[in-house]
Structure formats: structure tokens, C-alpha cells
Structure 1
Amino acid sequence: MANLSWLAEQRIQEAMRNGEFEDLPGHGKPLELEDLSGVPEDLRMSFKIMKNAGILPEEIILRGECVTLEGLLAACHSSGDTGSSEMKSLRTKLTAKRMRLQELLRERGLESSSVFTEYGEQVRQQLLNDEK
């Protein structure tokens, strides 16, 4: 293993001398480290890989859709349009999304996980802040 590390270090040093790292995004800037403390430890690596690939877990997508639907319902309430067919449609969609989310959490054994619940709330708050 030590030989492999040495070889890797030699290749990195050679690439640096050849300037192969100079055009990389973020070159010369501090690293932007992500705070993953709210993500359950056993899910961190998979969430990071999925995020880097541009893929989100279904439960995160569902949470985002629920926040969006809740915002649309709130807008209907504030406009005084509380009995419209659009509002009923939004409520139906929101209920379906919440039921699917609960089903997913139950299947994955996450419905009683306090860490996942806290993480979900952090995601919800971030989504709410992003919409403002």
C-alpha cells in the first residue's frame, strides 16, 4: 500500500510541475466544505455521490414538492380564493405527496429517526429560504 501511495504522490507532483491543475474550477480559491452534520453518517457518502451526479433522493424531491405546494396553497389563502377547484387540486396533490413521503420513510426505516427528521427540517427550511 505504501508503494501505491508513493506512486500516486509522484504522479501528482509531476502533474503539478506540468501545470495540469492550473485550469481547474476554483483554482486558487478556498475550498467550500459542505456541512453534512445533519445527514445520518451512514447516508453521507451516498448523498454526496448523488448530489455530485445531480441526482437527489426521492424523499428530498418529495419534500421540495411539498414545500412548493404549501406555498401555492398559502398564496390561494392570502388571495381569498379558498374554495376554488385549483385549491382543491393543490390539496389533493399535497396529500398524495405527503403520503408517498411517509411511505418512503417507513420503507427505509427513517420515519422514527430523529437525525433524519432534523435533516428533513433543515432541508425544508433551506427550500423555503431559496424560494424567497
Structure 2
Amino acid sequence: MDIFIKIAEEKIKEAQSKGEFDNLPGKGKPLNLDEDNHVPQELRIAYKILKNSGYIPPEIQAQKEIKSTLDLLKHCTDEREKYKKIQKLNLLITKMNITRKVPVNLEQDQLYYEKIVDKVKIKNKK
């Protein structure tokens, strides 16, 4: 998957250097992120009420929790605590991947490598 991202980045940079993005409509104007063009007309009012009340779809909530756990993991120094956080992270990722209706190659990866390395470190300390 990373190779596709790199290729896309290169293509975007190449197009920018050629000036292909210079005369796009709406250039310099703020994006209207409240547009609901992708939402059917009969659902727009319901979506707006949910959004204004602070409702977050379950997948977005799961992604926020995964990001939060990853941030905590980056700053964790205790081996055992880090191992627990990796277990929690993998569980969150598994739950999210099960509920998503996407191909397997688009699922979020778990942290098996770090989990194994941390497990070996814990055993070596005993």
C-alpha cells in the first residue's frame, strides 16, 4: 500500500511543478466542508441534527480511539504497559476491521512486530 502512496505523491508533486493546479476553479477560496452532496436529500436534516448533537459514527470513534492509543504507545516507556497498550490497540483494530466492509488489503494493520519484540524484552528481564 505504501508504494501507491509514494507514486501518488510523486505524481502530485510533478503536476504541481508543471503548474497544473494553478488555474483550478475555487483557488484561494475556503472549502465548504458542510456540504452534504453525498448524503441523500431525505437524510440531510437527520445527519445535520446528529452532527450538531455531537454524534460520531462508530468507525470514526474507533479510529479516534486507535489514534489515541497509538499516541500513548509512542510515549510509553514501561515494557509491560507498552505490551498492554499493543494488545488493546490490536483488539481495537480487529474490531474495526471486522465491522468495515472493505477489502482485506485496505484493513488497518496490527502491531505484531512490536508485540513480539516487547514480549521477548519482558521475558529477558525475568
User: Using CA pairs below 8 Å that are at least 6 residues apart, which structure has the higher relative contact order?
Assistant: 1
Structure 1-normalised TM-score? 0.44
Rg (Cα) greater in structure: 1
Structure 2-normalised TM-score? 0.45
